[in-house]
Amino acid sequence: MNEFELIEKYFSFKPEVTPALDTGVVLGVGDDACVLNISQGQQLVVSVDTLIADVHFPADAPADRVATRALSVCLSDLAAMGAKAKWFTLALTLPGTNAVWLEVFSRSLAQTAARYRCHLVGGDTTRGPLSITLQVMGEVRAEEAFTRSRAEPGDSVYVTGCLGDAAAALAVLQDKLRVAETDRQYLLSRYYFPEVRFAEAGKIRGIAKTAIDISDGLIADLGHICKQSQVGAIVDVTCLPYSENLQNCSTEKQREDWALTGGDDYELCFTVSAEKRKLIDEMTLSGSLQAMAIGKITQGDKVQCYRQDQLLENSRGGYMHFCNAE
């Protein structure tokens, strides 16, 4: 199979690209470049991620997991900007043409893309050590993108969903945590197939001031908001949200550490001004938004954790220093 046959066979997701779906795709895979229509009044939001075999995932990982996780993690950056997913490109470096791997990879990629209504519009295919570069593109109404730089003292800090599941899954995979089968299934699916928080981002658009997706643990990622907004934050660890499954199989201290410093949850952390807090709390009370108030933005430049009123000591090399984590 030559390069062109390979692209035609595996990466020409043509059924998705029909004018009726209003995809904005004027020209997709197959020409020198794609041509895209940007909707009126919208701004283009772009992000790119590269995943290298045996650096970011085991080279022998199942291709469906690799594809789904790669696209989901990449799309999470669009959700964290408040953008709607529209298009993506795929630069794929392959050691050879393994038809089974390509079949499974491309099918899972197509399924994940369809689920989030994101269309493959081009890419590049080369030979070499396995690596996957995904560039995602989305749209956001002009001036409405969430940034990391607008948090102010007095704002409330929220997170969506539950924290710590992915770090617990990693402990399970490394044989450091023994769990019941149902909890195991749940934790691993949270790790391998993170749900991109587009729905939640849509609900907080126009209300939240800043947002970030939690890929490196709450302290580090809230730290990025603090650094770029030139503020500090306090987190009440008793408010951290945990799944029932995680509570079944961990001590409070363990899950607290996973939530604060473990990565890969891909929930959103966002800040809301005191005046707009009511709007978020109404949605969480009615059940239309799963989010938890976990702290406040303060003056200063540190992320500090409290248990009720007691400041937590830097038990693991210092939570307080994480706000400077790059």
Q: Applying CB under 6 A, which residues contact ligand ADP?
A: 3, 7, 11, 29-32, 90, 92, 120, 122-125
Q: Which does 32 bind (CB under 5 to 8 A by kind): Mg ion, ligand ADP, none?
A: ligand ADP
Which residue's CB is nearer to ligand ADP, number 113 or number 320? 113
Give the CB-side neighbour count of residue 101, counting CA atoms within 13 A. Answer: 13
Q: Which does 93 bind (CB under 5 to 8 A by kind): ligand ADP, Mg ion, none?
A: none
> How far is CA 167 from each of CA 44, 61, 187, rounded to the nearest angstrom?
33, 18, 9
DSSP alpha helices (H): ranges in 50-98? 63-80
In the bound complex, what is the minimum distance in angstroms from residue 124's beta carbon to Mg ion?
A: 4
The token pair that represents 27 in the structure block: 């020209």
Burial class (CB in 10 A: 0-12, 13-18, 19+), 303: buried
Answer with the entry of ligand ADP, Mg ion, none that 7 interacts with (C-beta below 5 to 8 A by kind).
ligand ADP
Nearer to Mg ion, 128 or 317 (CB): 128
- Residues 250 and 177 sit within 8 Å (Cβ to Cβ): yes
Residues that bind Mg ion (CB under 5 A): 124
Q: Which partner from the list ligand ADP, Mg ion, none does 125 bind, CB cut-off 5 to 8 Å by kind? A: ligand ADP
| d(C-alpha 136, C-alpha 198), whole Å | 14
Contacts 24+ apart (CB under 8 A), 169-178: 169/264, 170/262, 170/264, 171/258, 177/249, 177/250, 178/249
Closest CB to ligand ADP among residues 80, 94: 94
Smallest distance, ligand ADP to C-beta of residue 32, A: 5
Cβ nearer to ligand ADP, comparing 25 with 269: 25
CB of 79 to ligand ADP, least distance (A): 23
Beta bridge pairs of residue 47: 136
**In whole angstroms, what is the distance from residue 113 CA to residue 97 CA?**
22
State in angstroms the smallest separation of the CB of 25 from ligand ADP.
12
Q: Going along 55-175, which residue ranges are E strands?
A: 84-94, 119-127, 131-141, 156-160
Nearest approach, Cβ of residue 134 and ligand ADP (Å):
10
- Which residue's CB is nearer to Mg ion, number 3 or number 54? 3
Residue closer to ligand ADP by CB (options 92, 218) is 92
Question: In the bound complex, what is the minimum distance in angstroms from residue 135's beta carbon to ligand ADP?
Answer: 11
